[in-house]
Homo-oligomer: A and B are copies of this chain.
Amino acid sequence: MFERLPASIQVVEVGPRDGLQNEAATISTADKLRLIEALAQAGLSQIEITSFVSPKWIPQLADGPELAKQVMQDPALAGVNTSALVPNLKGYEGAKTAGLKQINLFMSASESHSKRNINKSISEALATMAEVAAVAKADGKRVRCYVSTVFACPYEGKIEPQASVDICKKLLAMGVDEISLGDTIGAATPNQVTTLIAMLSKEMSLSKLALHFHDTRGTALANVVAGIESGITIFDASVGGLGGCPYAPGASGNLATEDLIYMLDGMGIKTGVDLEKLTNAGVLAQEILGRTLPGRYLKARLAERAQTCKQ
């Protein structure tokens, strides 16, 4: 184990979109921009900033067009690849108008989740992906696609890995640049990760694949280790573990970026992220939201800082 660790890993920060979309509180555009700046300041070079989904569906991100415009004009974010989620051609046009260089599509590996989440079958969703990806690639955009519930679905239980293999092949054939495979309800265990990645590696290069874990049952970093050992070098995470899972209220959601960076730092794997500055971004996120976030490293580090102040 750990005989061929990668020299570096790409961390994709999804907190400003995947995290904030589940918040009850209304966050101002100015606060969102401050958080994105703090994340960039910490060294995160890939940040998903918002969504161009209809405000009827996700009112929390209704300021997506305005935020994206401000982000693209912000000199502090000049070197950062800021992207946004888009559900269809209309959303894509919004992201294009704002000048974003990357758009992120989404679909599900589970038929039931796909129907419930976006009211489309998997093949209908793939048709939309193809349509948007073709236009975006013709415009010279980078295209990422999230595939959710690749390990388990809240309605169907375990999902066969072959479903994700089939979807990934189709997405790559469309010219999608990166695919993020999501454990949406945080149910995966490390052996499922190695099984899925082994199957995928027989059909495609792993360099375009990312893993997106939730820490709902504490297994996120164990799954990251399994992913690294299987050859994956891109992982999604969310500042402070921001982002709940709507199907398990009270449960923790996304893998916390600080927990991921702490582990990778310890393993000697470069990420370009400064953990102290990232902790500061976590503090800012907590201030903006007015509550404690579930990330474990963040809690532990803030307790250490408080203790140092007392001494």
Contacts and interface: CB of A to CB of B under 8 A. Distances in A.
Contacts of A225: 190, 222, 225-226
Contacts of A217: 259, 262-263, 296-297, 300
Contacts of A259: 217-219
Interface in A170-188: 186, 188
A51 B226 CA distance: 37
A241 B66 CA distance: 43
Nearest to A252: B296
A304 interface: yes
Given A219-B262, A221-B219, A225-B226, A194 B299 contact: no
Contact of A251 (B216, B248, B256, B299): B299
Given A229-B1, A267-B190, A295 B249 contact: no
Interface string A48-59: 000000000000
A307 interface: yes
Q: How many copies does the complex hold?
A: 2
B216 A218 contact: no
Contact of A307 (B191, B219, B249, B302): B249
Interface residues of A, number: 47
Nearest to A256: B218
A268 interface: yes
A251 B186 CA distance: 22
Nearest to A229: B1
Interface string A212-239: 0001111111101110011000000000
B190 A2 contact: yes
Contacts of A221: 218-219, 221-222
Contacts of A290: none
A189 interface: yes
B249 A1 contact: no
Interface of A: 1-2, 5, 186, 188-192, 194, 215-222, 224-226, 229-230, 247-252, 256, 259, 262-263, 265-268, 295-297, 299-300, 302-304, 306-307
12 contacts: A189-B266, A189-B267, A217-B259, A218-B218, A218-B221, A219-B221, A219-B259, A219-B266, A222-B224, A248-B300, A248-B303, A249-B306
Given A218-B218, A219-B221, A251-B303, 16 more contacts: A1-B190, A1-B229, A1-B230, A2-B191, A2-B194, A188-B266, A189-B263, A215-B218, A215-B296, A216-B300, A217-B263, A219-B259, A219-B263, A222-B224, A222-B225, A225-B225
